[in-house]
Amino acid sequence: MIWVLMILVVNFCAHDVTEEYTRDDVTSDQKNNFGGFIIIKETTPSHTSTGSDDVRCITIDDVIAARTSLCPAHCSCSPLDGQQVLTKLIVDCSGVPFNQSTSLQLIHDLIQLLSRCGSELLELTITNTPITTVPEVVCKLSKIRSLNFNYNRLASLPSNCFTRMLNLTSFLAYGNHLTSLQVR
């Protein structure tokens, strides 16, 4: 009977997502356990897909909610109010003690944060982190004008990252370990 139930759930609930039980970003009331499978109930999203990995947040409240829930632990994400929320993001991790595990979680959190509501960003600042390379998702920010990666541990940049950023006019990377920059 359990197998029949699982087959029915998989067949008739194609819009639900089956994931591992360890998923952190889903609340307990969104989870149902069917015979060892975790079915994540979709909530009504307030964003639309752009056809890529990026998801656009439509309202300031969407962006604020994403920043509040996805900001890396012990870091600050701003601004959290006003019109600039849509076009500017500052992630500052000053004073955060990072180890290998928390560094990996930071990178994951940054990717999630930028993938969720990053498509309209014009200015991005990520400072005081242990990241050694710019996450690839940053290179997909086609509207970006200003990047500030001061005081990280950057040693390299993704290939062809700047060539995809046609509006980029400012790149700051003081206090890193970069030895070369890509030329357009």
Is residue 152 situated within a structural domain?
yes
My answer on whether 93 and 108 are in the same domain is yes
Report pLDDT digits (tens) over 17-69: 333 333 444 444 433 333 333 333 233 333 333 333 445 578 899 999 999 99
Same domain, 78 and 95: yes
Q: What is the pTM of this model?
A: 0.69
Closest to 21 measured CA to CA, from 3, 41, 4, 37: 37
Domain count, the chain: 2
Predicted confidence (pLDDT) at residue 12 exceeds the cutoff of 60: no
31 and 56 fall within a common domain: no
Q: Is the pLDDT of residue 179 over 90?
A: no
Q: Within this chain, do residues 52 and 36 fall inside the same structural domain, yes or no?
A: no
Confidence of residue 16 (pLDDT cuts 50, 70, 90): very low
